[in-house]
Amino acid sequence: MTQIKICGIQKPDDALTASQAGADFIGLVFVPNRRRCLKVRDAEAIVSTLRESTQDPPKIVGLFADQPLEEVNRLVDRCMLDLAQLCGQESLGYSAKVKVSVIKVVHILDSQSFSNIESIVKRIRQQGHLVTLDSKVAGLQGGTGRSFDWHIAEAASRKGLSFMLAGGLTPNNVANALELVNPWGVDVSSGVETKETKDPLKIKAFIDAVRSFSTSQHSNQVTSIRESK
């Protein structure tokens, strides 16, 4: 089943909407000077509401970018995060010292060679970290609403690389992305917003689109197996 991450959550109600709709992960931004960056007390409120109101809540991911390791681990502890998503230029040595499991973002340029991307992803995966492939936009580390050439991600998937796909996904195009790329998971933020605010209807529509595609694919696989017997 394709994993789903709803990122850039800013209010407890949005976290509950994502959870009730079936999200596997929610993302809280702790990168300074980013539009969706949370104050610690607001992040704590989201986490406590989600865990007190939901029997099996999504995993909670904190997003960081080139911040002191001590700060990352302090926020991991204080906000009781399940994972840390590292969106900057953090080294593998840095990543290994984070207190929780790590998602390392690999920013993709359409002009970048696939062999370079493959090498980077393999090194990260060999260290036991998860990987997100996202578009590279100067001065930003995600949440831009811009996609990269999905054929690059398709090539990575065909090589057996496991990753989460991010960048420019919406309820309207996520099924196409899944059909082409077949990633381990999908990550959305801007694509479920209206006027820079999380839209409950778009969150539900995005998750429904992913689940419908996954169910359809499973049904097709079962039919193919039966017909081959």
pLDDT at 141 over 80: no
The per-residue pLDDT for range 170-186, each reduced to its tens digit, is 999 999 999 999 999 99
Q: State the maximum Cα–Cα separation within the chain, in Å, rounded to a whole number.
A: 58
Q: Which two tokens stand for residue 54?
A: 């939901």
Q: Which pTM value belongs to this model?
A: 0.91
pLDDT at 113 over 90: no
Distance CA 35, CA 198 (A): 13
Q: What is the mean pLDDT of residues 23-30?
A: 98
188 contacts 146 by C-beta, under 8 angstroms: no
Higher per-residue confidence, 141 vs 103: 103
Query: Could you write out the DSSP letters of every residue in 122-142?
Result: HHHHHTT-EEEEEE-BTTB-S
Question: Could you tell me the domains of the chain?
Answer: 3-228 (3.20.20.70)
Residue 52: the pLDDT is 95
Mean pLDDT of the chain: 91
